[in-house]
Amino acid sequence: MPGISMELVFLLEQILNGLLVGGYYLLLALGLSLIFSLGGIVNLSHGAFYAIGAYLAVELTKHLGFAGALVLSPLLVGLLGVLFERFLLRRFYSADPILGLLLTFGLAMVAEQVIRMVWGAAPLPASIPPAFKGQVVIGDFLYSRYRLLMLGVVIAALVGIWLLLNKTAFGRVVRAGVQKPDMVAVLGIRLQPYMTAIVVLGVGLAALAGVLFAPISGVHPAMGAEIMTAAFVVVVIGGLGSFWGVVIAALLVGVVRGVTIHFYPPAGEASMYLLMLLVLMFRPRGLLGERIERFD
């Protein structure tokens, strides 16, 4: 019986870790999905903002502590997103989609090289805040305090975004713009300012993920490129244009990955791709994908 009990405890820890990884993917995938849904651009540079958020957090933590970095880094990256949308993305909303892909792919490569020039190619150390070191112990169950903090921040961010999109005038316009941009235009509402806000929100969430996961995943120049594949997998599984589709997909991918690692560790990474294949076989638009249009 003790062996069975310990096995269940370890499985529970893996499921919680899976939910945490799912939250990590969620912060990145939500921004990707929102930017594509409203602007029609697949932002291949999204991982660059994640990496910049992590690097800024390392610098800001030296002067303002972790709490200051957690707040300020996403805000600064969000301001960078204003420039990104105003001077780059805005030119490609009504252009051939391949041009947007090429632009954001090139920007991702440029951002990675700029990071190497500014901070060097070697990884930077990022430590867990002293207040959140250690474990929470409940019987045989052990779990990191910092990971619980991360889960709390992810849940708070998710609730905030849901309230913004579903309980405010801003959210109503964004949802209408995703489904019927022509109708919104007929009503005399310009979607351009809303698109800027969505880009700021999307890249800010990516930076938040970078801040939270820097102490766990490490900080290095290629970190943005490494996470993008998983983020796209989540968006594809969830379905473009669907808030809850992306949420469900992120948590599903995280839990499936965690459980697979528990039973067969070598297949942990491959499990998300198999899950994507199975979903697309039966739901080509993803779990809750919607038909969407681009605005001009």
Euclidean distance between CA atoms 214 and 69, whole angstroms: 12
Residue 91, Cα to own-chain centre: how many angstroms?
24
Residue 214 lies in a domain: yes
Residue 288 lies in a domain: no
> What pLDDT is attached to residue 46?
94
List the chain residues with pLDDT less than 50. 1-4, 292-295
Closest CA to 220 of 229, 212, 228, 210: 210
User: What pLDDT was estimated at residue 138?
Assistant: 72
Residue 238 lies in a domain: yes
CA–CA separation, 240 and 234 (whole Å): 10
Kindly write down the DSSP assignment for every residue of 261-290, as one continuous string.
HHH-GGGHHHHHHHHHHHHHHH-TT-SS--
In a domain, 148, yes or no: yes
Are 204 and 81 in contact by the 8 Å Cβ rule? The answer is yes
Pairwise CA distance, residues 292 & 82, whole Å: 24
Rounded to an integer, what distance in angstroms lies between the CA atom of residue 132 and that of residue 286? 37
Name the residue among 12, 24, 245 with its Cα closest to residue 153. 24
Residue 139 inside a domain? The answer is yes
Q: What are phi and psi of 72, to 5 degrees?
A: -80, -35
As a whole number of angstroms, the distance between CA 203 and CA 198 comes to: 9
- CA 173 → CA 160, 185, 190, 208, 246, distances in Å? 17, 11, 10, 25, 20
Burial of 265 (0-12, 13-18, 19+ CB in 10 A): exposed
Q: Which residues contact 174 (CB under 8 A, 6 or more apart)?
A: 34, 38, 165, 194, 198
Condensed to tens digits (0 to 9), the pLDDT of residues 141-165 reads: 677 888 888 989 999 999 999 999 8
Please report the pLDDT score of residue 191 as a whole number: 78
Count of structural domains within the chain: 1
- Over its C-alpha atoms, the chain yields an Rg (Å, rounded) of 19
Buried-exposed string 77-108: b where 16+ CB fall within 10 A, e elsewhere: bbebbeebbeebbeebbeeeeeebeebbeebb
Rounded Cα–Cα distance for residues 156 and 153 (Å): 5
Angle (deg, nearest 10), helices 243-263 and 223-238: 110
Please name the amino acid found at residue 139.
G
102, part of any domain: yes
Global pTM reads 0.90
Q: Which residue has the tokens 């808030």?
A: 243
- Any domain includes 141: yes
Nearest to 79 by CA among 59, 56, 97: 56
> How many residues can be counted in the chain?
296
Q: Show the domain range for 103.
A: 2-282
In a domain? residue 291: no
% pLDDT > 90, the chain: 43
pLDDT at 6: 67
